[in-house]
Structure 1
Amino acid sequence: MPITESSLVNFALEYANMGMKVIPIPLKQKAPLMKEWQKLRLTEEEIRQLFSKPSNIGILLGEPSGWLVDIDLDDPLAVKLAPYFLPFTEAVFGRDSKPCSHWLYICFGAKTTKWQGIDGEMIVELRSTGCQTVFPPSIHPSGETITWYKEGRPIQISRDELEKACSRLASAVLLAKYWPSQGTRQDTALALAGGLIRLGFNEEEAERFIEAVTVGAGDEESKSRVRTVLYTARKAGSSPTTGWKRLSELVGEEVVSKVLAWLGWKKQEEVFEDPPKKEKERESQAQSLVNLALSSGVELFHTPDGNAYATVPVNGHKETWPVSSRGSGPFRNWLRRIFFEKHGKPPGSQALQDAIGVLEAKAQFDGPEYPVFTRIAEHDGKIYIDLANDTWEAVEISPVGWRVISDCPVKFRRSKGMLPLPHPESGGRLEELKRFLNIPDEDSWRLMVAWLLASLRPKGPYPVLLLQGEQGSAKSTTSKALRALIDPNTAPLRTCPKDERDLMITATNSWAVSFDNLSGIPVWLSDALCRLATGGGFSTRTLYENDEETIFSACRPIIANGIDEIASRHDLLDRAIIIHLPPIPEENRKDEAQFWAEFEKARPKIFGALLDAVSAGLRNIDSVHLDKLPRMADFAKWITACEEALPWPSGGFMEAYMGNREEAIEVALEGDIVAVAVKNLLEEREIWEGTASELLEALEVFIDDTTKRSVAWPKNPRNLGNRLRRVATFLRQAGIEVEFLREGHDRRRLIRLKRENVVRNVRNVRNDLQSFENTGLEVRTICGQRADNADEVRTKNENSLSATETLKDKGLMDAYNKADNADDKIPIQSNDMQNHLWDILLKLAKENHPGAYEPLKTLRIAGVTLRKSGKGWGFKAKIGDLFNTKQDFDDWIRQYVTPHKQAIKDLFDKLEEEINNVNSTPEVWEL
C-alpha cells in the first residue's frame, strides 16, 4: 500500500512520541542532506512541516534517542544466523530482499562498532551515537519498502552482552564463509570444538556456535555433526587434532586470528602452540575452586525435579543461582571472581568446567531439597513476593499485614528481563490506579483489580485477561501498567509465540505472560493458554539428545490484547475475563513520558494497597462460602475473601464476574454456527433425539450452502459429536442440555437435545449505567422467528400506569423480593416482566421524549425485548414478520432509533430510577 503524506507524518510523530529523534531523509536515499543533522531536534510542528511531502524517515541513534541502537546486519549470512546469537527483542525491521536485517535495542553507553571480513566487507555493525538509520515506512534505494517484522518495544541490554553477541555472530559468519568443502568438514568442526572449549565456552555455547557455523556453511549434516565433534573434542583433550592451531591449518591463520580477536582472546600465541602439559596445574585449579566455593558459606541444594542450585553470600545478602555445567550464568562468574581474588589470576576454562561439574553433583546428591520460585511463593501460610532488586529483598504478607524483609525463608530465582518492583508504601488507595487505566465501567474496574489480586496469589488457576478495543483504546498501555504492578519486565509485552515450547520457556522465566496486538488466537495457542492458566506441562525432546526429554510445567497469570474478538474457543472463553476498552478522545490523551512518570510516582502506594487486599484475602479465605461455585471457583473465592479491603461493597466482584461470564457465553454461542443451528432446531420443540448422522442432517436445514461448504461446519457425524461436546457447557447455561446416550441391545449411540426453561439465580443489579453512557445504545439481533409475546403487547394502561403500581399490583415485586431472599429462581425473559418494563418505558417516553415514543412502540410491536448486561441497557430482537432480515432491522434502527439515541439513554436512566424507587434497597433484576 502506498505511503501517503499524512501516514508518513503519523509515523514520524509516533516515533517522536516514543522518545526517538527523527530527521528527514530524501526519498529513496539513506543519507541526510541537512548540515549538522546530528544536532537536529525537531518540534512537532517542524515534523508536520518537513514530512508533509514524500521522504524517508531517519532516526538518530544512541544518546539522542534514549540510547536506542541498531544492529545492522549487512551480510545476508548474518541475517540468517542472527537468531543463534542476538538477544530476543520486540523491534526488528528490514525489506523483502533482506528481511529482519535491523535489530533494535536500548543499550546505555554503547559505541558504534564494526565487524568487517578479511577483504573489508561489512558483516555486522552496531550503530549508536553519531549514526542514524532509515526506519519504516521509508523506501530503500533499491525501491523496496522498509517494513516492520516485529513492531514492539526494543528490550534493554548491557553493552558487554550486546557486543559479545555481535562478536560471536560475526565470528560464526566469517568461519562459515571459509568453511571447507566435503572431505575435511569433520576435522574442521572437531578443531573448532576443541578451540572453543579452551577459550572458555561451556558445552551449550559451543554446541550453538558450531551449529550456526555449519548451518551457515550449508553443511547438510550439521545436527549430527555437532554432538559428535563435541564428544570427540572432550575425549581428545590435549590432542593436536583439536584447537585453534589445527583450525588455522584448515581455514587459514588470518581467519582464525580475526575470530580470536573478536572473541576476546588477547594472547593468540598461546592458542597456536600445542596444548601445554599442565594437567596437574589444571587439576589443582579445579580442586581449589571446589574448596573455595565450599568454604565461602555457599549452600548447595537441588529442586524436586533434580536441578542443582546454590545460595551464595554476596555483599551482605544472599542470592540463589542455578549450578550447571551446561550454560553460563552468575555462579560460573562468581567462581572466577573468588579464584582470582585468591590466586591473582583467572582459572583455566577446563578447570572451571570440572569444578562446576563437581559442585553440581554435590548439590544433586548431597544437598537438601528445596523448591525454587519465580517472583511469588507461599510458605507457612504466608505469601512472599520477590522485589527483584539488587539487595534481594522480598515482601512478606500474612493475615495481619505485610512487611519488607531481607532474609527470605523461600528460594527465589531470577531470570533475564526481570525488573524490580517498587518498595511498597502503606496508606495507598486502589482508586489511584483508575486514572492510569482506560476503564469502560465499574464492572470492568472490579475485574481488572480482581485479575491483579489473583496474580499476587501463588496458587492458580488464574483467569485469562483479554483486553479488546479499536486502535487508540490504550490496550498496550493498560496491559503494561497492569503487569508493572505484579511482574515488571524489560519486554513487558510479547508477540505471539511461534510454538508451545516458546510459550512455556517464556512462562518458566517470568511470572506473568502478556501478549500484545493479537489478531485472533490460533487453536494450538488457545489450548496451550488454557493449560497454562490452570496449570499444565509440556514435554519436548532435549536438544541434541535422542532419548531425553525436557519437561516444562507452569501455572501463570495471562494478559492478551487485540482489536478483534481474539478468543473464539469455548474452553478459553470459559476461563477468560473479557473487557472491551473504549477509544480515548484526542483531548484526553497524555504524552507517554508524562504518563509513565506519573505512574512510577504512584506505583509504590498502589502496590501497597494491593498488598493490603492480599493480606485481607489470607485473613478471610477460610471463612468464604459461595452459594454457587462458578467456573474458576478458587479465583472467585479468593477475590471475595479480599473484598474487605476493596473499594466496593461485598458481593460486587461476583456481580461483575457473573455478568462478564454471561457475555462471554453469549459471544461464544453467537460465534459458533453449530450452537446457532442447535438453538434454531429447538425453537419449535423441547426435545430432539437421534444419531449423530440424523442430527447433522437435521441441523443442515438451518444453514445455507455457503456455510455448509465452509471449514467451520462439521463434515461428518464424528466431527459434529466433537463440536457438541466442546459447546455443551455453554449450551447448558443457555438452557439446552446435550446428552450422549447408548440405548438398545446393540448399544446404539444417540444424542439427545433438550430445551429447558431458562432460569438463573437472580442477582442485584447496581444502579450504574456508566457503561451505557460510554458505549452508546446496544442493539442485538438473533436468527429465528418472531418473538413469542409479539402479539401480547399491552398498551391500554400505559397512560396511567406507574412503576410501583405495575410491579406491586401484579404481585411481581413480592415475587422478586421473595426470590431474592430465598435464593429462588425466576425466568430471565418472562413475558410479564417484559410487558411491565415496556409499559413503564413507553409511559416515560410519552411524558418526557415524545419523539422517541413511536420508534419505541414499533420495537415493542415487533417483539423486541429489553435487556440489561454488563454494557448497560439495550434491545434484543428476533427477526420475524416485521423485519424480514437482519439488514432490514439494522437499517430501521439507523433511520428511526439512532436520531433519538440520547433521548433513549435518558429514558433508560429514568427507568432505572423508577425501578429503584419502588423499594429503598436495590431491586432484583436479570433481563
Structure 2
Amino acid sequence: MPITESSLVNFALEYANMGMKVIPIPLKQKAPLMKEWQKLRLTEEEIRQLFSKPSNIGILLGEPSGWLVDIDLDDPLAVKLAPYFLPFTEAVFGRDSKPCSHWLYICFGAKTTKWQGIDGEMIVELRSTGCQTVFPPSIHPSGETITWYKEGRPIQISRDELEKACSRLASAVLLAKYWPSQGTRQDTALALAGGLIRLGFNEEEAERFIEAVTVGAGDEESKSRVRTVLYTARKAGSSPTTGWKRLSELVGEEVVSKVLAWLGWKKQEEVFEDPPKKEKERESQAQSLVNLALSSGVELFHTPDGNAYATVPVNGHKETWPVSSRGSGPFRNWLRRIFFEKHGKPPGSQALQDAIGVLEAKAQFDGPEYPVFTRIAEHDGKIYIDLANDTWEAVEISPVGWRVISDCPVKFRRSKGMLPLPHPESGGSLEELKRFLNIPDEDSWRLMVAWLLASLRPKGPYPVLLLQGEQGSAKSTTSKALRALIDPNTAPLRTCPKDERDLMITATNSWAVSFDNLSGIPVWLSDALCRLATGGGFSTRTLYENDEETIFSACRPIIANGIDEIASRHDLLDRAIIIHLPPIPEENRKDEAQFWAEFEKARPKIFGALLDAVSAGLRNIDSVHLDKLPRMADFAKWITACEEALPWPSGGFMEAYMGNREEAIEVALEGDIVAVAVKNLLEEREIWEGTASELLEALEVFIDDTTKRSVAWPKNPRNLGNRLRRVATFLRQAGIEVEFLREGHDRRRLIRLKRENVVRNVRNVRNDLQSFENTGLEVRTICGQRADNADEVRTKNENSLSATETLKDKGLMDAYNKADNADDKIPIQSNDMQNHLWDILLKLAKENHPGAYEPLKTLRIAGVTLRKSGKGWGFKAKIGDLFNTKQDFDDWIRQYVTPHKQAIKDLFDKLEEEINNVNSTPEVWEL
C-alpha cells in the first residue's frame, strides 16, 4: 500500500511519542541535507510541516533518543547468522532484498563501533550517538520500502553484552567467508573448537559458534561435524592439532588475528603456542545452568527495592518471573526444564540452588532497574492492564482509545490465584452491567461504576466500597461481579485477615482487595484499610531472621460487605462509598449457574465499555475543574473526567457522591455518642466554651448512666479531647465548629463549640437543589435524647390515633390550632428557610391535595424538617418529642403519609418549581 503524506506524518509523530528524535531525509536517500542535523529537535508542529510531503524519516541514535542504538547488518551473511548471536529484541526492520538487517536496542553509554573484514568491507556496525538511521516506511535508494519485521519496543541491554554479541557475530561471518572447501573442513572445525575452548568458551557457546560458522560457509554436515569436533577437541587435550595455531595454517593468520582481537584476546602470541598440558576442568552443573539461562535470551533486572527478576522468552512471548534463591517458582522450574532438554537428566538440587543464587546476584548488580507491576500500570501517559492470559497480552489505553498488545513496555508480575480478564470488545454499554448488580437506585449505580473506574486507574487514592444489606440482598454476588471486571481471582472474596501482615501480603499479590460477610471492622483493620486505600507501608521482621526487615507498600481498591453498619471509625467512613442493597424477592432470584453464564457472555463488552470511559478520563483529566473539591478529590476529578463516556448526564456522579458523603457523615455522627452529645448540647445555643473538664461534665447531662459507664464514653478530659479531634471533621460538615484554644494570661486550654449559621443567596440554594432528581420520598430520623427524658420514653403503639389525635395526645394541639389561626405562617422552626418551604408546601397542599394537608401539617408541628438528598425529597425527624422511637415515626409515616405518597410527590414537584422561580422566594435564606 502506498505511503500517503498523512500516514507519513502519523509514523513520524508515533516515533516522536516513543521518545525518538525525528529528522527529515530526502525521499530515496539515506543522508540528511540539513546542516547540523545532529542538533535538530523538532516540535510536533514542525514534524507535521516537514513531513507533509513525500520524504524519508530519519531517527537520531544514541543519547538524543534515550540511547536507542541500531545494529546495522551490512553483510548478507551477518543477516543470516544474526539470530545465533544477537539478543532477542522486539524491534527489527529491513527491506525485501535484505530483511531483518536492522536490530534495535536501548543501550546506555554505547559508542558507535564498526567490525570490518580483511579488505575493509563492513560486516556489522553498532550505530549510536552522532549517527542516524532511516526508519520505516521510508524508501531505500534501491526503490524498496523499508518495513518492520518486528514492530515492538527495543529491549534494554548492557553495552558490554551488546558489543560481545556483535564481536562474535562478526567473527563467525569472517571465518565463514574463509572456511576451506571439502577435504580440510573437519580439521578446521577441530582447530576452531580447541581454540574456542582455550578462550574460555563453554561447551554450549562453542557449539553454537561452530554451528553458525559452518552454516554460514554452506557446510552440509554442519550438525554432525559440531558434535564430532567438540568431542574430539576435549579428547585431544594438549594436542597441537587443536587450537588457533593450527587454524591460522588453514584459514590464514590475518583472519585469525582479527577474530582473536574481536573476541577480546590481547596476547595473541600465547594462543599460537601449544596448549598447556592440563586441560580446563569439566564444566559443573551449576555453571551449565547459568550458561544455559544467559544464552537463552533471558533478561535479568532488579526493581527499585532490589528484588531480582527475569524476563524469559516462552513460546513466542515473554514472561516476567521473580528470581529468588529462597522458595520455589516458575523460574526455578524453567531452569530444570532447559537443563533436562540439554543433558537428558535433571540437575542436582544444590547445583540448581547455586545457579539461581548467581543469576539473582547478576540481576541485582549487573542488570538494569525496572519497576514491576501487578495487573495495572501507567507508562508515558498511557494505562496498561495485564489480561493475565497464557500469551501475556495487555490492554494499552491512551487518550485516543484502547487496543490489545503483546509487546507491553512495562513489566507485569503474576501471582497465584490471578485469573484472566476477557478480551475486551468495543460497542458495549455499561447499562448492560445493571442486570447483574442488585442496585437500589440510580445514585448507587453511578457510585458502583465510579468505583470500577477508579480501580482501573494505576494511582490512588481509592474509595472503599462498602456494600451493606440483610441476608438475601446479593452482597457477595455483587462483590464478585464487580471484582471480576477489574481483577478476577480464584478466591475473589476473603475472610477478615488475622493481622496487618496478612492484609499487606494479600494486597501485594493482587490488585483489588475484597472481604466478605464482615460483622464489623475492628479498629486495627479500619486504620490499615485507610492506609491501603490512600497508599501506605507496613514493616515487619523477616521470618527466620533476627535483624532483617520486610517492608510492604501498596495502594489498592477495596470492597467489603456485611449485614450491619460494618464501618464506624470516622477516618474509614470519610474514605468510603456506602451502598445499602435491598433484599431480592423470591420471584426475582436466578439460578447461580445461569447467572454467571450470562455474566461471562456479557463481560467482554462491559469491560470494553469501562475501557472507553478510562480513555475519556485520560483525555479530559487535565481540563476538569470542580468548584468545590470534596474528600478524595483526585477520585472525584477522575470520575468527572470519565463522564463523557458514561450513561448519565454530566455532573451526575458528583450529585450521587455528595449525597453518599452526606449519608456517611450522618452514619458517623449517629454512631458516635460524643458527637450525638455535642449536637444535643448545641440544640439550644449557638456557642459553648470552656475547659475539657467542664465540657465532659456538660455532655454527661445528655447521656444515661449505662452509656457513661461504657468503654465508648471518654473517662477523662484528655480522652474527650482526642475523641473531639477525631470527630471534628464530620461535626464541621454538620455545621458545628470545634476549636482548641489557649487564652488568658495563664494560657488555659479551652474548647469552643460553635454552631455555624451560613447565609446564602437564594440563587445559590436554587442551583444546589436543582441538581438533584426527585426520585421519591425519604424518611430519616435522628437518634439520641436527653438523659432526664429517658425515663419518660413510652412504648405505646399510637397507630390507632388519627394524625390530629396524635398531636393532642402529645400536648401539641395548641400549637396546631395556632398554626391554623395564623394561616400556617407561625415559625415553628427557628430556621427561616424551613419555615418558607413548609409555608409553600402546605399552601400547595390546600390548593391541590387537601387530603395530604393534615398529615403534612402534623409533621411540621412535630418539628419534622424537609430535606433533599440524592434520593429525593423527604422528611427528617428528631426522636424524643412527638415520636419516642424511630419505630414510632416509621409507623406514623406508614399509616398517615404513605396513603398520600403520590400526592406528596406531586407537591414536592410543585415545590421545586416554586424554588426555581427566584422571584417567589426571599433574597436571603438562613440555612
TM above 0.5, one fold? yes
Q: 1:466·1:579 contact (CA, 8 Å) conserved in 2?
A: yes
Using the TM superposition, name which of 289-298 and 215-224 deviates more: 215-224
- State the 1:897 CA deviation: 3.6
Using the TM superposition, name which of 58-67 and 364-373 deviates more: 58-67
In 2, Cα distance between equivalents of 1:702 and 1:180 = 106
- State the 1:306 CA deviation: 0.5
Distance 1:737 1:47, change over 3 A: closer
- State the 1:614 CA deviation: 0.8
In 2, Cα distance between equivalents of 1:542 and 1:768 = 54
In 2, Cα distance between equivalents of 1:698 and 1:250 = 107
Q: 1:765·1:926 contact (CA, 8 Å) conserved in 2?
A: no
In 1, Cα distance between equivalents of 2:757 and 2:220 = 66
* Aligned alpha-carbon RMSD (Å): 24.0
TM-score normalised according to structure 2 size: 0.63
For residues 625-672 of structure 1, give each alpha carbon's deviation from its aligned partner in whole angstroms, at most 9, with x where no partner exists: 112111111111111111111112221111111111111111111111
Distance 1:838 1:33, change over 3 A: farther
Using the TM superposition, name which of 239-248 and 340-349 deviates more: 239-248
For residues 560-588 of structure 1, give each alpha carbon's deviation from its aligned partner in whole angstroms, at most 9, with x where no partner exists: 11111111100001001111111222222
Structure showing greater radius of gyration is 2
For residues 542-567 of structure 1, give each alpha carbon's deviation from its aligned partner in whole angstroms, at most 9, with x where no partner exists: 11111111111000000011111111
For residues 316-355 of structure 1, give each alpha carbon's deviation from its aligned partner in whole angstroms, at most 9, with x where no partner exists: 0000000000010000000000000100110001100000
- State the 1:67 CA deviation: 53
Q: 1:538·1:552 contact (CA, 8 Å) conserved in 2?
A: yes
Using the TM superposition, name which of 228-237 and 328-337 deviates more: 228-237
For residues 385-442 of structure 1, give each alpha carbon's deviation from its aligned partner in whole angstroms, at most 9, with x where no partner exists: 0000000000111111111110110000000000001111111111111111111111
Distance 1:603 1:803, change over 3 A: farther
Q: 1:203·1:325 contact (CA, 8 Å) conserved in 2?
A: no
Distance 1:167 1:314, change over 3 A: closer
Using the TM superposition, name which of 841-850 and 162-171 deviates more: 162-171
Using the TM superposition, name which of 906-915 and 695-704 deviates more: 906-915
Distance 1:617 1:895, change over 3 A: closer
| Dislocated runs of 4+, deviation >6 Å | 1-283, 759-776, 784-830, 916-927
Q: 1:461·1:535 contact (CA, 8 Å) conserved in 2?
A: yes
Q: Indicate the SS of the match to 1:279.
A: coil
Q: 2:702·2:786 contact (CA, 8 Å) conserved in 1?
A: no
Distance 1:201 1:701, change over 3 A: farther
Q: 2:804·2:858 contact (CA, 8 Å) conserved in 1?
A: no
Match of 2:566 in 1: 566
Distance 1:321 1:911, change over 3 A: same
Q: 1:383·1:397 contact (CA, 8 Å) conserved in 2?
A: yes
Between the two proteins, the alignment pairs up a number of residues equal to 927
- State the 1:838 CA deviation: 2.8
Q: 1:207·1:230 contact (CA, 8 Å) conserved in 2?
A: yes
Using the TM superposition, name which of 443-452 and 9-18 deviates more: 9-18
- State the 1:95 CA deviation: 73
Using the TM superposition, name which of 77-86 and 513-522 deviates more: 77-86
Q: Indicate the SS of the match to 2:764.
A: coil
Q: Indicate the SS of the match to 1:772.
A: coil
- State the 1:834 CA deviation: 2.6
Match of 1:476 in 2: 476
Q: 2:815·2:861 contact (CA, 8 Å) conserved in 1?
A: no
Match of 1:538 in 2: 538
In 2, Cα distance between equivalents of 1:521 and 1:276 = 75
Q: Indicate the SS of the match to 1:283.
A: coil
Distance 1:409 1:134, change over 3 A: closer
For residues 354-398 of structure 1, give each alpha carbon's deviation from its aligned partner in whole angstroms, at most 9, with x where no partner exists: 000000011011111100000000011111000000000001111
- State the 1:842 CA deviation: 3.4
Q: 2:655·2:870 contact (CA, 8 Å) conserved in 1?
A: no
Distance 1:117 1:588, change over 3 A: farther
Match of 1:353 in 2: 353
In 1, Cα distance between equivalents of 2:895 and 2:250 = 82
Using the TM superposition, name which of 159-168 and 336-345 deviates more: 159-168
In 2, Cα distance between equivalents of 1:406 and 1:325 = 29
- State the 1:480 CA deviation: 0.8
- State the 1:847 CA deviation: 5.6
In 2, Cα distance between equivalents of 1:920 and 1:724 = 42
Matches within 5 A, 1:842-857: 842-846=842-846, 849-857=849-857
For residues 576-626 of structure 1, give each alpha carbon's deviation from its aligned partner in whole angstroms, at most 9, with x where no partner exists: 111111122222222111111111111111111111111111111111111
**Where does the alignment leave 5 or more consecutive residues of structure 1 unmatched?**
none
In 2, Cα distance between equivalents of 1:378 and 1:886 = 50
Q: Indicate the SS of the match to 1:92.
A: strand
- State the 1:754 CA deviation: 1.6
Distance 1:14 1:490, change over 3 A: farther
- State the 1:294 CA deviation: 0.4
For residues 672-717 of structure 1, give each alpha carbon's deviation from its aligned partner in whole angstroms, at most 9, with x where no partner exists: 1100111111222222222211111111111111110111111111
Q: 2:760·2:925 contact (CA, 8 Å) conserved in 1?
A: no
In 2, Cα distance between equivalents of 1:240 and 1:517 = 80
In 1, Cα distance between equivalents of 2:248 and 2:540 = 38
In 2, Cα distance between equivalents of 1:758 and 1:575 = 26
In 1, Cα distance between equivalents of 2:99 and 2:880 = 54
In 2, Cα distance between equivalents of 1:429 and 1:553 = 35
Q: Indicate the SS of the match to 2:768.
A: coil
For residues 162-189 of structure 1, give each alpha carbon's deviation from its aligned partner in whole angstroms, at most 9, with x where no partner exists: 9999999999999999999999999999
In 2, Cα distance between equivalents of 1:503 and 1:850 = 59
Using the TM superposition, name which of 443-452 and 262-271 deviates more: 262-271
Q: 1:868·1:926 contact (CA, 8 Å) conserved in 2?
A: no
Distance 1:308 1:896, change over 3 A: same
Q: 1:377·1:410 contact (CA, 8 Å) conserved in 2?
A: yes
For residues 754-793 of structure 1, give each alpha carbon's deviation from its aligned partner in whole angstroms, at most 9, with x where no partner exists: 2211468999999999999999854333368999999999
Q: 1:480·1:493 contact (CA, 8 Å) conserved in 2?
A: yes
TM-score normalised according to structure 1 size: 0.63
- State the 1:309 CA deviation: 0.2
Distance 1:357 1:839, change over 3 A: same
- State the 1:896 CA deviation: 3.5
Q: 1:399·1:616 contact (CA, 8 Å) conserved in 2?
A: yes
Q: 1:655·1:764 contact (CA, 8 Å) conserved in 2?
A: no
Using the TM superposition, name which of 313-322 and 187-196 deviates more: 187-196
In 2, Cα distance between equivalents of 1:553 and 1:63 = 34
User: Given the alignment of the two structures, is residue 807 of structure 1 paired with residue 807 of structure 2, yes or no?
Assistant: yes
Distance 1:807 1:539, change over 3 A: same
Q: 1:864·1:877 contact (CA, 8 Å) conserved in 2?
A: yes
- State the 1:282 CA deviation: 11
Q: 1:59·1:132 contact (CA, 8 Å) conserved in 2?
A: yes
Q: 1:138·1:145 contact (CA, 8 Å) conserved in 2?
A: yes
In 1, Cα distance between equivalents of 2:444 and 2:550 = 39
- State the 1:738 CA deviation: 1.0
Q: 2:736·2:754 contact (CA, 8 Å) conserved in 1?
A: yes
Distance 1:272 1:352, change over 3 A: farther
Using the TM superposition, name which of 860-869 and 844-853 deviates more: 844-853
Q: 1:69·1:106 contact (CA, 8 Å) conserved in 2?
A: yes
Match of 1:663 in 2: 663
Q: 2:828·2:835 contact (CA, 8 Å) conserved in 1?
A: no
In 1, Cα distance between equivalents of 2:482 and 2:620 = 25
Q: 1:820·1:924 contact (CA, 8 Å) conserved in 2?
A: no
Using the TM superposition, name which of 843-852 and 92-101 deviates more: 92-101
Q: Indicate the SS of the match to 1:190.
A: helix
In 2, Cα distance between equivalents of 1:502 and 1:206 = 50
For residues 193-250 of structure 1, give each alpha carbon's deviation from its aligned partner in whole angstroms, at most 9, with x where no partner exists: 9999999999999999999999999999999999999999999999999999999999
Matches within 5 A, 1:300-315: 300-315=300-315
For residues 446-488 of structure 1, give each alpha carbon's deviation from its aligned partner in whole angstroms, at most 9, with x where no partner exists: 1111111110110100000111111111111111111111101
Q: 1:429·1:606 contact (CA, 8 Å) conserved in 2?
A: yes
In 2, Cα distance between equivalents of 1:144 and 1:827 = 90
In 1, Cα distance between equivalents of 2:715 and 2:198 = 62
Distance 1:909 1:67, change over 3 A: farther
Sequence identity of aligned pairs in percent? 100
In 2, Cα distance between equivalents of 1:794 and 1:348 = 82
In 2, Cα distance between equivalents of 1:90 and 1:819 = 83
Distance 1:841 1:410, change over 3 A: same
Q: 1:297·1:312 contact (CA, 8 Å) conserved in 2?
A: yes
Q: 2:759·2:926 contact (CA, 8 Å) conserved in 1?
A: no
Distance 1:318 1:114, change over 3 A: closer
